[in-house]
Amino acid sequence: MTTNSSTHYTQQAWSLADLFPAIKSEAVTDALAELDSLISHFETFQSKLNDDLNAADFQTMLDSYETIGRKMSCLSGFSGLSFAADTQNQEAQNFMARINQRYAESSNRTLFFELWWKAAPEETVNRLLKTAGEYRYWLETLRREVPHTLSEAEERIINLKNVNGRSALDQLYDSITNRYTFALQIDGETKTMTRGELSTYFFANDPAQRQAAYQELNRVYASDAPILGQIYQALVRDWRSENLDLRHFETPIATRNLGNDIPDEVVDTLLSVVRENKGIIQRYFKLKAKWLGLDKLPRYDIYAPVVGSEQTYPFAEAAAIVLQSFQEFDPHIAQLAERVFAENHLDSEVRPGKRSGAFCATPVPDCTPWVLQSYQGKVENVTTLAHELGHAMHSMLAEHHNVLNQHPSLPLAETASNFAEMLLVDRLLQDADEETRRSLMFDEVEKGFKSILRQSYFALFERDAHEAIHNGASVDEISALYLANLKEQFGDAVDVSDDFQYEWLSIPHIYKYPFYVYAYAFGHLLVLALYEQYRQEGEPFKARYLKILAAGGSEAPATILENAGIDIYAAEFWQGGFDVLAKRLDELEQMPVKAFV
């Protein structure tokens, strides 16, 4: 495949037809009926579960379970993507709630199989694992959950509780925050915009616009602080009640670590190394202040451009550049990414009601992933496009696995996305003028802040907030805790104003996926190390890297990386990522400062 800037790519909404034609369609009705039939048949296996179960019957059960998982994932994926496309659409809201309910009920009906496996004697487990093939790692992950598994009746109740509890609160948070509009003075005129549109002004050349944009974001979220804060408190209490009180995890973050198959000590080491190296990023912000002609950088200006380049990229050009950067690394991954465009699985329009941010979703292995972003022509939108297409490419490289093993552990899930961004930056640098080149080099270090320091400090905040809420902290006290977190993070390099105490209210991840965020730091530091290997080795590196991605979630992350010569238990490994960032910063500090305001 050859891509070039003349290739035509249209900015549009996605099509979900490869899943279902519409919410109210015969296909959805038939799928729900088929799901019920599949589960009814699976329930007949319950009487065959015993310590002497033979390998052939066990394989039949596993295949049936995986088929049910595919059908459930199709329906839940379709409902989630429909809701993301328009969070204010009542039909989509109701459909997602209905599918979530059905998902919980279906999970309850098949729960007996997982519980039997967790309770089976070691002798039975070891015998059946020898013939489990592709299912082996998934089965091993279930056994790790044994100390935290409850009775079947209790697990059923929790499944139903989560639908009308956690899931409902998550959906309520989305519905409230995605209806927000923001007002900003642009050229003497007040413009009303979405959060996605507002966020482009965080990167504006005009410092007054940057400050006004942040103040408006914080103002709108702060106005609902009592409501949004109560939602968070309820989610945190629910997390603790289930995972510490009932499942007996030692800490709130340990639940996520087990799900990621990352040992607690690895995560502790990662966060400690990040905390110890915060000075590297603070040093970057001091340099940035000099380039902006400031004594000290205000928090409003951390994403301020350091050069006068205001280059924008029409969507078609951005798509072509991203695909070309993939092509130059490996033609096959460019062909995979092209599928997202060819099958109209990318929603890049800017419109009210659409979910904010960006993501890539792969409901089932045999469907090309869907990518969502709100593209507005800035260089950061181009890198986001590369990032999400990297996720898509990762999924497609692992599409030969079953639905239980395709998705990588969260920390490895950021590998291809971050690597794709670095490929794009190298491609952009080839044709960049002096101003754009300088801007891209600053962005490379700044991404280290966004993905490593910022996300790790979110995780540190979550750790503190969970404990504080357990001890009765109010919403105001949580906000004060967050402000202290910011001040430690930025040190004496950045002036953090009090209005940023409300920023945590606008971070969906801490609501929907507690402690998810450290995966970004894990992935970015990993990719810094991998990309350094690529620069040194060239062609021989590629097969090893693509093998990591093709593994998907079929093995433990530590095993996948160990096969690539990486020891995630070693603090020196994580320190190596910061050493790469420090070298980039050394290069920037050697450039003559040319103040830009």
Looking at residues 590-595, what average pLDDT do you find?
Answer: 74
Are 291 and 440 in a shared domain?
yes
Q: Is the separation of the CB atoms in 494 and 299 below 8 Å?
A: yes
Looking at residues 520-537, what average pLDDT do you find?
Answer: 90
> Is the residue at 203 inside a domain?
no
Q: Calculate Rg over the CA atoms of the chain.
A: 24
> Is the residue at 220 inside a domain?
no
> Is the residue at 470 inside a domain?
yes
> Is the residue at 21 inside a domain?
no
At residue 386, the 3 state secondary structure works out as helix
The residue out of 155, 174, 193 marking a domain boundary is 174
Confidence of residue 309 (pLDDT cuts 50, 70, 90): low
> Is the residue at 348 inside a domain?
no
The pLDDT tens digits of the residues spanning 376-430 come to 998 889 999 999 999 999 999 999 999 999 999 888 998 999 999 999 999 988 8
Name the burial class of residue 29, with classes exposed (0-12), middle (13-18) and buried (19+) by CB atoms within 10 angstroms of its CB: exposed
> Is the residue at 331 inside a domain?
no
Confidence of residue 4 (pLDDT cuts 50, 70, 90): very low
Considering the entire predicted model, what is its pTM?
0.83
Classify strands 346-347 and 359-361 as parallel, antiparallel or unpaired.
unpaired
> Is the residue at 548 inside a domain?
yes
Q: Where residue 98 sits, what CATH number does that domain have?
A: 1.20.140.70
Confidence of residue 557 (pLDDT cuts 50, 70, 90): very high
Q: Which pLDDT does position 594 carry in this prediction?
A: 67
Confidence of residue 103 (pLDDT cuts 50, 70, 90): very high
Q: Point out the least confidently predicted range of 84-98, 147-161, 304-318, 474-488.
A: 304-318
- Name the DSSP class of 593: P
Count of other CB atoms within 10 angstroms of residue 126: 10
Are 130 and 35 in a shared domain?
yes
Are 149 and 258 in a shared domain?
no
Closest CA to 438 of 595, 293, 294: 595
The pLDDT tens digits of the residues spanning 186-212 come to 988 999 999 989 998 998 889 999 999
**C-alpha to C-alpha distance for 231 and 217, rounded to whole angstroms:** 19
Q: Which pLDDT does position 7 carry in this prediction?
A: 43
Does 584 score more than 70 pLDDT? yes
Q: Point out the least confidently predicted range of 161-170, 179-188, 505-514, 539-548.
A: 161-170
**C-alpha to C-alpha distance for 589 and 221, rounded to whole angstroms:** 37
- The amino acid present at 405, given as its one-letter code, is N
Name the burial class of residue 330, with classes exposed (0-12), middle (13-18) and buried (19+) by CB atoms within 10 angstroms of its CB: middle
User: How many structural domains are present in the chain?
Assistant: 2
| Mean pLDDT, rounded, of the chain | 92
Total residue length of the chain = 597
In this structure, what is the dihedral angle of CA atoms 574, 576, 582, 584, given to the nearest 10 degrees?
-110
Q: Where residue 268 sits, what CATH number does that domain have?
A: 1.10.1370.20
Q: Which pLDDT does position 282 carry in this prediction?
A: 97
Token pair of 256 as six digits: 């996520």
Q: Is the separation of the CB atoms in 452 and 577 below 8 Å?
A: yes
φ, ψ of residue 552 to 5 degrees: the values are: 55, -125
Looking at residues 41-58, what average pLDDT do you find?
Answer: 96
Q: Which domain covers residue 305, as residue numbers? A: 228-309+434-597
Are 573 and 446 in a shared domain?
yes
Does 86 score more than 80 pLDDT? yes
Confidence of residue 138 (pLDDT cuts 50, 70, 90): very high
The residue out of 152, 174, 196 marking a domain boundary is 174
Are 244 and 168 in a shared domain?
no
Are 562 and 461 in a shared domain?
yes
End-to-end CA distance of the chain: 43
Confidence of residue 308 (pLDDT cuts 50, 70, 90): low
Token pair of 279 as six digits: 């000075």
Are 442 and 555 in a shared domain?
yes
Segments of 88-128 assigned E as strands: none
Are 481 and 597 in a shared domain?
yes
Segments of 268-351 assigned E as strands: 297-298, 346-347
Are 577 and 445 in a shared domain?
yes
Q: Which pLDDT does position 379 carry in this prediction?
A: 83
Does 597 score more than 50 pLDDT? no
Count of other CB atoms within 10 angstroms of residue 350: 15
> Is the residue at 128 inside a domain?
yes
In this structure, what is the dihedral angle of CA atoms 552, 555, 559, 564, given to the nearest 10 degrees?
-30
